[in-house]
Amino acid sequence: MPEGGIGASVKRKEDFRFLTGRGAYTDDEVRAGQLHAHMLRSPHGHAALGSVDTSKAEAAPGVVCVLTGPDADADGLGGLPCGWGITSKDGTPMVEPKWPVIAQGKVRYVGEIVATVIAETAEQAADAAELVEVDYRPLDAAAVTETAHRDGAAQIHEEAPNNLCFDWDFPGEEAAEAVDAAFEAAAHTARLELVNQRIIPHSMEPRAAVAEYDKGEEKLTLYCTAQAAHAMRLLLGAFVLNQPEHKFRVVAPDVGGGFGSKVAPYAEYAIICWASRKLERPVRWLGQRTECFVTDAHGRDHVTEVELALDAEGKFTGLRVNTVANMGAYLSAFAPLIPTFLYATLFAGQYTTPAISCNVKAVFTNTSPVDALRGAGRPEATYLLERVIDEAARATGIDPVEIRKRNFIAADAFPYQTPVALLYDSGSYERALDIALEKSDWNGFAARRSASEADGKLRGIGIAAPIEATGAAPSAIAGQLGARAGLYESAQVRFNATGTVTVFAGTHNHGQGHETTFAQLVTDKLGVPLENVEVVEGDTDRAVMGMGTYGSRSLSVGGSAIDRAMDKIIDKGKKIASHLLEASVDDIEFDSGTFTVSGTDRTISIGEVAFAAYVPHNYPLEELEPGLDEQAFFDPVNFNFPFASYVCEVEVDPETGSVSVERFTAVDDVGNIVNPMIVEGQVHGGLAHGIGQALMEGAVFDENGQPLTGSLMDYTLPRADTVPSFDLDHTVTPCPMNPLGAKGVGEIGAIGAPPAVVNAVVDALRSHGVNHIDMPVTSESVWQALQSAKAS
Partner 1 sequence: MYDFNYRKASSVEDAVSAVTGAEDGRFLAGGMTIIPTIKQRLANPSDLVDLAGVGGLTGISVSGNTVEIGGMARHAEVNASSEVAAAIPALARLAGGIGDPQVRNRGTIGGSIANNDPAADYPAAVVGLGATVRTNRREIAGDDFFTGMFETALEPGELVTGVSFPVPSKAAYMKFPNPASRYAIVGVFVAATSGGPRVAVTGAGPCVFRVAEMEQALAGNFAPEAVADIKIGDDDLNSDIHASAEYRAHLVTVMAKRAVAQANG
Nearer to partner 1, 119 or 401 (CB): 119
Edge-to-edge strand ranges of the sheet holding 302-310: 164-170, 356-364, 316-328, 302-310, 188-196
Q: Burial-class residue 26 by CB neighbours within 10 Å (0-12, 13-18, 19+).
A: buried
> If DSSP codes are grouped into helix, strand and coil, which group holds residue 12?
coil
Please identify which residue in 700, 703, 732, 769 interacts with partner 1, judged by CB under 8 A: 700
Q: How far is CA 648 from CA 112, 476, 703, 731, in A?
A: 40, 39, 35, 19
Is residue 696 at the binding interface for partner 1, with CB under 8 A as the rule? yes
According to CB under 8 A, which residues from 637 to 656 bind partner 1?
655-656
Among 425, 440, 778, 785, binds partner 1 (CB under 8 A): 778
Q: Which of 374, 461, 381 is nearest to 693 (CA)?
A: 374
- Least distance (Å) from partner 1 to the CB of residue 289? 10
Q: Check binding of 714 to partner 1 (CB under 8 A).
A: yes
d(CA 519, CA 166): 44
CB of 29 to partner 1, least distance (A): 23
Instruction: State yes or no: residue 455 binds partner 1 (CB under 8 A).
Output: no
416 strand-pairing partners = 424
> Under DSSP, is residue 186 helix (H, G, I), strand (E, B) or coil?
coil
- Contact characters 605-644, partner 1, x per CB under 8 A: ----------------------------------------
* 117: Cβ contacts below 8 Å, ≥ 6 apart: 37, 38, 40, 57, 63, 66, 125, 126, 128, 129, 132
Nearer to partner 1 among residue 518 and residue 715 (C-beta): 715
**CA proximity to 391, closest of 312, 302, 316:** 316
User: Minimal distance in Å, beta carbon 572 to partner 1?
Assistant: 56
* Beta pairing partners, 603: 596
Q: Which is nearer to partner 1, 37 or 176 (CB)?
A: 37
Determine the interface stretch with partner 1 among 123-131, 472-480, 616-624, 673-681 (rule: CB under 8 A).
Answer: 123-131
Shortest Cβ 125–partner 1 spacing (Å): 13
> Among residues 390, 332, 379, 381, which one has the least CA distance to residue 360?
381
Hey, which residues between 720 and 759 contact partner 1 (CB under 8 A)? 722
- Name the residue nearer to partner 1 (CB basis): 250 or 753: 753
| Segment interacting with partner 1, rule: CB under 8 A, options 332-340, 386-394, 430-438, 708-716 | 708-716
Q: Distance of CA 7 to CAs 3, 678, 742, Å?
A: 10, 11, 12
Q: Contact region for partner 1 (CB under 8 A) — 122-130, 165-173, 330-338, 618-626?
A: 122-130
In the complex, the smallest distance separating the C-beta of residue 44 from partner 1, rounded to whole angstroms, is 18
Alpha-carbon span 534 to 527, nearest angstrom: 14
- Name, in order, each residue with C-beta under 8 angstroms of 707's C-beta and a sequence gap of 6 or more: 110, 111, 293, 294, 367, 368, 699, 700, 701
Select the span of 214-222, 279-287, 313-321, 716-724 touching partner 1 (CB under 8 A): 716-724
Give the shortest CB-783-to-partner 1 separation in angstroms: 6
CB 686 to partner 1: min, Å = 21
Give the three-state DSSP class for 309: strand
Of the two residues 43 and 354, which places its CB atom closer to partner 1 in the complex? 43
Radius of gyration of the chain (CA): 27
User: Whose Cβ is closer to partner 1: residue 158's or residue 780's?
Assistant: 780
The nearest distance, CB 695 to partner 1, in angstroms, is 8
Q: How many CB atoms lie within 10 A of CB 317?
A: 22
- Choose one: 141-149, 453-461, 758-766, 780-788; the region binding partner 1 (CB under 8 A): 780-788
CB nearer to partner 1: pick between 496 and 658: 658
At a CB cut-off of 8 Å and minimum separation 6, what does 497 contact?
Answer: 610, 611, 613, 614, 615
d(CA 184, CA 712): 49
Scored b (16 or more CB within 10 A) or e, 411-447 reads eeebebebbbbbebbbbbbbbbbbbbbebbbbeebee
CB of 714 to partner 1, least distance (A): 5
Distance CA 605, CA 608 (A): 5
Q: Taking CB under 8 A as the rule, does residue 123 contact partner 1?
A: yes
Q: Which of residues 713, 720, 791, 792 is near partner 1 by CB under 8 A?
A: 713
711, 290 Cβ separation under 8 angstroms: yes
127 binds partner 1 (CB under 8 A): yes
Minimal distance, residue 276 CB to partner 1, in Å:
25
* Cα separation values, 607 from 257, 502, 570, 583, 611, Å: 36, 13, 12, 19, 6
Inter-CA distances, 195 with 135, 245, 340, 383, 773, Å: 37, 42, 17, 10, 9
414/783 with CB nearer partner 1 = 783
Query: How many residues lie near partner 1 (CB under 8 A)?
Result: 23
Residue type for position 593: G
Helix spans in 12-67 (H): 15-19, 55-58
CA torsion 747-750-753-759 (nearest 10°) is -120
In the bound state with partner 1, the residue whose beta carbon lies nearer, of 62 and 479, is 62
- Site for partner 1 (CB under 8 A): which residue of 65, 126, 154, 545? 126
Q: Does 660 bind partner 1 (CB under 8 A)?
A: no
For residues 322 and 384, the answer to whether their CB atoms sit within 8 Å is no
Under rule CB under 8 A, which residues in 406-425 are in contact with partner 1?
none
Q: Segment contacting partner 1 (CB under 8 A): 207-215, 337-345, 419-427, 709-717?
A: 709-717
Q: Which of 1, 24, 413, 708 binds partner 1 (CB under 8 A)?
A: 708
Q: Out of 712, 732, 767, 788, which residue is the one contacting partner 1 (CB under 8 A)?
A: 712
Please provide the DSSP assignment of 642-674 as one string.
Answer: -EEEEEEEEEE-TTT--EEEEEEEEEEE-BS-S
Separation CA 339–CA 323 (nearest Å): 9
Residue number, 127 or 307, with CB nearest to partner 1:
127
At 429 the three-state DSSP class reads: helix
Binding piece for partner 1, criterion CB under 8 A, among 124-132, 153-161, 428-436, 539-547:
124-132
Please report how the helices 429-439 and 400-407 are oriented relative to each other, as an axis angle in degrees rounded to 10: 160
The residue among 155 and 781 lying less far from partner 1, judged by its C-beta, is: 781
Closest approach, Cβ 270 to partner 1, in A, equals: 26
Least spacing, CB of residue 374 vs partner 1, in Å: 20
84 binds partner 1 (CB under 8 A): no
For the segment 271-290, give every residue that binds partner 1 (CB under 8 A). Answer: 290
Give min distance, CB of 328 to partner 1, in A: 20
One residue of 715, 726, 754, 758 binding partner 1 per CB under 8 A: 715
Q: Which of 3, 158, 313, 780 binds partner 1 (CB under 8 A)?
A: 780
User: Is the CB of 594 or the CB of 722 nearer to partner 1?
Assistant: 722
Binding site for partner 1 (CB under 8 A): 123, 126-127, 130, 290, 655-656, 696, 700, 708-709, 712-717, 722, 778-780, 783-784
